[in-house]
């Protein structure tokens, strides 16, 4: 059977950190002559339209299936079709409930899809998609936008329940891992550390359902590569009967600057004055600071970050995001005179930043990140040492990958997850002194700094090789397609 008879349905969670890698993944799979249909809502189709339209125009067998998103039926504002559109994260459950209603229209259209779908690759958070796969008797493969380190740690914590035996801030060794790595309960993701609000407890049930369904998946696709977390991938594969395919880093699949600039946004290259400013900076001198599409720092915490960057003495680009508190942050910026004070050495970006382009610029010296897996892997691909400031979800796991497994980062000292609904928190977790100190350590020209940069360059090289012909991820992609082909052939023969 030829791969051109295969047809993979890709169903992303509507959220930048999940949609962006799945769009990249669709292109990677389509390059192997497999027909790919992306199930998406109208507003997200518009948001990602330029990149997808270019891929289709280049001859890749990609199709877009738009399904109407019933935002207003679930108490969401009109046009709210992505998690980063939510006015408050207290509406997260409403968003997930609305997403689940896409099941019926998808099933109604399923038999019209040609060639006949061979498998569904779904974001693991959309557990209703497993019912669709079961109904049409095709493999349900999950995409979990996380590392194999995270998968392995999660599995062993679930089994051992070690987190139930410790208080919030007591360090414990993560069980079953190839390296001795400790954490505290307060740094664990929501499955183990949901928070105490009524909404958090309600959402805990959603997470438990996702986890229960996820365990029955046919296999997992991971946006990582063998050389980055070798022993963790090996161990995780053993747990999953070999059906774990690391086919990343996805961001490296974007070869032209326009595709890099428009991952997640339809802006043009000319919209980004920060790139012109970077051209005027010295090589390896600038810190890029972005805490992801969902992190919403409180005004107090933003102030500490901004002043810490200023005190460090290094030039920087700072992406400003405050959600409902953006007005308060802008008020402080105006009253304090911060922006005029750092003019020339600091650039503030409001809204979307072309992260991959910025990170790959010769002027970049380090990346201060929230350790979302996409950002982490993009930092790895750029060959940059990282300053880690995890915020929520599995980001403290990713910090351990960067700081302890890869040895390319330095933490700012965050002690606990900040729950997304804590937008009114008054606590300052990380001080300006913490930020300044971490920046100076990472940018230092001494032996330790040099060693970190050397490791970062090594992983950049390995990341580039992985998706090339004959590379580990390229081979894994072929093995995945082969596996689905064999499964499909068996079904036809049966």
Residues 407 and 453 in one domain: yes
Which pLDDT does position 269 carry in this prediction? 46
Which pLDDT does position 96 carry in this prediction? 94
Whether the per-residue pLDDT at 1 is higher than 60: the answer is no
Q: Give the phi and the psi of residue 346 in degrees, each rounded to 5.
A: -130, 135
pLDDT band, very low/low/confident/very high, at 277 (cuts 50, 70, 90): very high
Residues 56 and 161 in one domain: yes
Which pLDDT does position 268 carry in this prediction? 45
- Residue 416 inside a domain? The answer is yes
pTM: 0.94
Q: Which residue has the higher pLDDT, 152 or 196?
A: 152
Instruction: Collapse the DSSP code of 198 into the 3-class scheme (helix H, G, I; strand E, B; otherwise coil) and give the result.
Output: helix
Instruction: Give me the chain's average pLDDT, please.
Output: 93
Residues 315 and 174 in one domain: no
- Residue 255 inside a domain? The answer is no
- Is-cis flag, bond preceding 249, omega within 30? yes
- Residue 254 inside a domain? The answer is no
Which pLDDT does position 199 carry in this prediction? 76
Whether the per-residue pLDDT at 76 is higher than 70: the answer is yes
- Residue 256 inside a domain? The answer is no
Give residue 53's Cα distance to chain centre.
23
Residues 195 and 324 in one domain: no
First to last CA, the chain: 15
Residues 27 and 116 in one domain: yes
Whether the per-residue pLDDT at 102 is higher than 50: the answer is yes
- Residue 261 inside a domain? The answer is no
Count of residues in the chain = 494
Q: Can you give the residue range of the structural domain that contains 64? A: 3-248+467-493
Which pLDDT does position 423 carry in this prediction? 66
- Residue 258 inside a domain? The answer is no
Which pLDDT does position 477 carry in this prediction? 98
Residues 442 and 418 in one domain: yes
Residues 224 and 306 in one domain: no
Whether the per-residue pLDDT at 259 is higher than 90: the answer is no
- Residue 262 inside a domain? The answer is no
Contact by Cβ (8 Å): 66, 42: yes
Q: Among 221, 85, 146, which residue's Cα sits nearest to residue 374?
A: 146
Residues 165 and 309 in one domain: no
Residues 449 and 472 in one domain: no
Q: Among 24, 29, 89, which residue's Cα sits nearest to residue 373?
A: 24
Which pLDDT does position 202 carry in this prediction? 79
Residues 103 and 124 in one domain: yes
CATH number at residue 440: 3.40.50.2000
Residues 458 and 475 in one domain: no
Whole-number Å distance between alpha carbons of 273 and 275: 5
Going across the sheet that includes 35-40, the strands are 62-66, 35-40, 7-11, 119-123, 140-143, 219-222, 244-246
Which pLDDT does position 321 carry in this prediction? 82
Q: How many domains does the chain have?
A: 2
Which pLDDT does position 134 carry in this prediction? 98
Residues 361 and 418 in one domain: yes
- Residue 259 inside a domain? The answer is no
């Amino acid at each position: 059977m030829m791969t051109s008879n295969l047809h993979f349905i890709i169903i992303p969670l509507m959220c930048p950190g999940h949609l962006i890698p799945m769009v990249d993944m669709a292109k990677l799979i389509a390059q192997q002559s497999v027909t790919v249909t992306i199930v998406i809502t109208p507003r997200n189709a518009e948001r990602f339209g330029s990149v997808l339209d270019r891929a289709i125009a280049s001859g890749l067998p990609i199709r877009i299936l738009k399904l109407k998103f019933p935002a207003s039926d679930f108490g969401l504002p009109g046009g709210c079709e992505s998690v980063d559109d939510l006015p408050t994260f207290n509406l997260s459950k409403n968003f997930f409930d609305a997403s689940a209603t896409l099941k019926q229209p998808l099933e109604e259209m399923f038999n019209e899809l040609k060639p006949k779908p061979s498998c569904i690759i779904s974001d693991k958070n959309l557990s209703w998609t497993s019912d669709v796969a079961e109904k049409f008797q095709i493999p349900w493969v999950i995409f979990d936008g996380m590392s194999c380190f995270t998968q392995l740690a999660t599995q062993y914590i679930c089994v051992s329940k070690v987190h139930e035996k410790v208080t919030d801030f007591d360090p414990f060794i993560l069980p079953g891992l190839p390296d001795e790595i400790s954490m505290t309960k307060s740094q664990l993701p929501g499955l183990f550390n949901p928070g105490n609000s009524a909404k958090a407890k309600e959402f805990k049930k959603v997470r438990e359902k996702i986890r229960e369904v996820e365990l029955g998946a046919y296999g997992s696709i991971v946006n990582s590569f063998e050389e980055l977390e070798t022993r963790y991938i090996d161990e995780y594969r053993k747990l999953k009967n070999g059906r774990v395919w690391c086919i990343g880093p996805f961001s490296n699949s974007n070869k032209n600057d326009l595709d890099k600039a428009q991952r997640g946004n339809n802006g043009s290259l000319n919209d980004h004055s920060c790139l012109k400013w970077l051209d005027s900076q010295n090589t390896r001198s600038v810190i890029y600071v972005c805490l992801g599409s969902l992190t919403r720092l409180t005004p107090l915490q933003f102030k500490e970050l901004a002043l810490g960057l200023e005190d460090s003495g290094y030039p920087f680009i700072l992406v400003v995001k405050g959600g409902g508190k953006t007005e308060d942050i802008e008020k402080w910026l105006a009253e304090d005179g911060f922006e005029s004070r750092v003019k020339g050495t600091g650039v503030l970006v409001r809204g979307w930043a072309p992260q991959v382009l910025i990170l790959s610029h010769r002027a970049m010296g380090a990346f201060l990140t929230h350790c979302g897996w996409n950002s982490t892997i993009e930092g790895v691909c750029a060959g940059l040492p990282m300053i880690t400031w995890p915020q929520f979800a599995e980001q403290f796991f990713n910090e351990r990958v960067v700081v302890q497994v890869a040895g390319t980062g330095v933490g700012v000292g965050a002690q606990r997850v900040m729950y997304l609904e804590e937008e009114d928190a008054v606590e300052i977790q990380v001080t300006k002194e913490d930020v300044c100190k971490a920046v100076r350590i990472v940018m230092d020209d001494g032996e330790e700094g040099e060693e970190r940069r050397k490791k970062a360059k090594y992983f950049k090289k390995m990341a580039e090789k992985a998706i090339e012909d004959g590379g580990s991820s390229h081979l894994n992609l072929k093995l995945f397609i082969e596996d689905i082909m064999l499964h499909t052939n068996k079904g036809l023969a049966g």
